[in-house]
């Protein structure tokens, strides 16, 4: 019986590979570090196929029980062909990911954008369980998203749907890495939070944050830590980010009228205690009564494995 799934979550700095039953029992996980920007795509793809081969060879009884290999990759990804298109995270140009991996593995492979797969993971195994109208927003280095409509991923016309981070909400705001001004990502991502903190430190107003960093690079985590210790400046940076996330989520709620919005990614998960309540408060105050009825806003509980859970969900969906 073919009831096993191999999931691969391809990130800029690590690849997480797991094997699980289609019902959601994770049997094994392998993580290896990589630096996509330093290595070329061929090398990384060889590593991935070798790591899958290794999982299969390590357990010969597994080989014939595998129903699918599912790969989650950072976007932009042309879908359904699964062509990576100038991905800033991976530092790759055009890579025919599905074709390349299928050839190496001698089996069909399903490839989708990581945020889409995470959204489906939340719908099957996470906070969104049983909410077939779900938005997933990942807040980490950047901001991205996945859309579940009637229990299925909405890809848009060629795979581009869900770019929530590039919703402009402040046309005179800071420059985004996409080149525009005032994108949600430029205002509320981990990068944006760190940028604000570094700026304060340069102006010699960020001593509390600097103290928390203990010589490490300032990231959102350090700003959060300073805020927890009562540093007002750090708290203001976090609350400003929460306000922008609130505007973005309220916009999306008015546009999609979902049952649930799940916030994931390192910043949302790591700073849940500081971010979630202000975001909820803003959204409940700023959407229509109809949209607020039964609306849930939650932080993902699937942690770093959300991508793997999503891969299992893709396979379970059939």
Q: Of 68 and 146, which CB lies nearer to its own copies in the complex structure?
A: 146
Minimum CB distance to its own copies, residue 262 (Å): 14
Q: Which is nearer to its own copies, 187 or 312 (CB)?
A: 187
Nearest distance from C-beta of residue 120 to its own copies, angstroms = 16
Q: Is 106 exposed, middle or buried (0-12, 13-18, 19+ CB in 10 A)?
A: exposed
Q: Regarding beta strands 4-10 and 66-73, do their DSSP bridges make them parallel or antiparallel, or are they unpaired?
A: parallel
Task: Considering the complex, state which of residue 41 and residue 226 has its C-beta at the smaller distance from its own copies.
Answer: 41
Q: What is the DSSP string of 104-168?
A: HHTS-EEEEEHHHHHHHHHHHHSTTTT-SSEEEEEESSSEEEEEEETTEE--TTTS-TT-GGG-B
Toward its own copies, which CB reaches closer, 142 or 162? 162
Instruction: Report in angstroms how near the CB of residue 261 gets to its own copies at its nearest.
Output: 11
CA 270 to the chain's CA centroid? 13
b or e along 39-71 (b: 16 or more beta carbons within 10 Å of the residue's beta carbon)? eebeebbeebbebbeebbeeeeebeeebbbbbb
| Closer residue to its own copies, CB minimum distance, 185 or 231 | 185
Least distance to its own copies from the beta carbon of 256, Å?
6
Which residues lie near its own copies (CB under 8 A)? 76, 78, 85-86, 133, 149, 154-164, 166-171, 178, 180, 247, 250-252, 254-259, 286, 288-291, 293-295
Rounded to whole angstroms, the Cα distance separating 216 from 202 reads 16
Q: Shortest Cβ distance from residue 243 to its own copies (Å)?
A: 8
């Amino acid at each position: 019986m073919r009831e096993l799934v191999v999931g691969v979550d391809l990130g800029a700095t690590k690849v997480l590979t797991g094997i699980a039953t289609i019902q959601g029992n994770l049997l094994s996980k392998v993580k290896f570090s990589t630096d996509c920007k330093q290595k070329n795509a061929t090398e990384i793809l060889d590593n991935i196929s070798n790591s899958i081969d290794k999982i299969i060879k390590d357990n010969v009884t597994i080989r014939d029980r595998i129903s699918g290999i599912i790969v989650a990759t950072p976007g932009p990804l042309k879908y359904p062909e699964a062509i990576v298109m100038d991905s800033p995270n991976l530092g790759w140009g055009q890579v025919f990911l599905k074709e390349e991996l299928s050839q190496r593995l001698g089996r069909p492979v399903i490839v989708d954008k990581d945020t889409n797969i995470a959204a489906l993971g939340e719908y099957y195994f996470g906070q969104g369980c049983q909410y077939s109208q779900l938005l997933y927003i990942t807040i980490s280095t950047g901001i991205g998203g996945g859309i579940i409509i009637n229990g299925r991923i909405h890809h848009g016309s060629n795979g581009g749907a869900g770019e929530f981070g590039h919703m402009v909400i402040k046309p005179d705001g800071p420059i985004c890495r996409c080149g525009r001004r005032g994108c949600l990502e430029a205002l509320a991502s981990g990068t944006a939070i760190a940028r604000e903190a570094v700026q304060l430190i340069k102006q010699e107003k960020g001593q509390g944050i600097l103290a928390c960093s203990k010589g490490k690079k300032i990231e959102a985590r350090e700003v959060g830590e300073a805020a927890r210790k009562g540093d007002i400046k750090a708290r203001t940076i976090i609350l400003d980010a929460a306000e922008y996330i609130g505007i973005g989520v309220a916009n999306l709620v008015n546009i999609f009228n979902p049952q649930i919005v799940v916030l994931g990614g390192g910043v949302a998960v790591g700073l849940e205690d500081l971010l979630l309540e202000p975001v909820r408060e803003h959204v409940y105050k700023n959407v229509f009564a109809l949209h607020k009825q039964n609306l849930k806003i939650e932080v993902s509980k699937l942690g770093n494995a959300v991508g793997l859970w999503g891969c299992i969900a893709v396979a379970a969906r059939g």
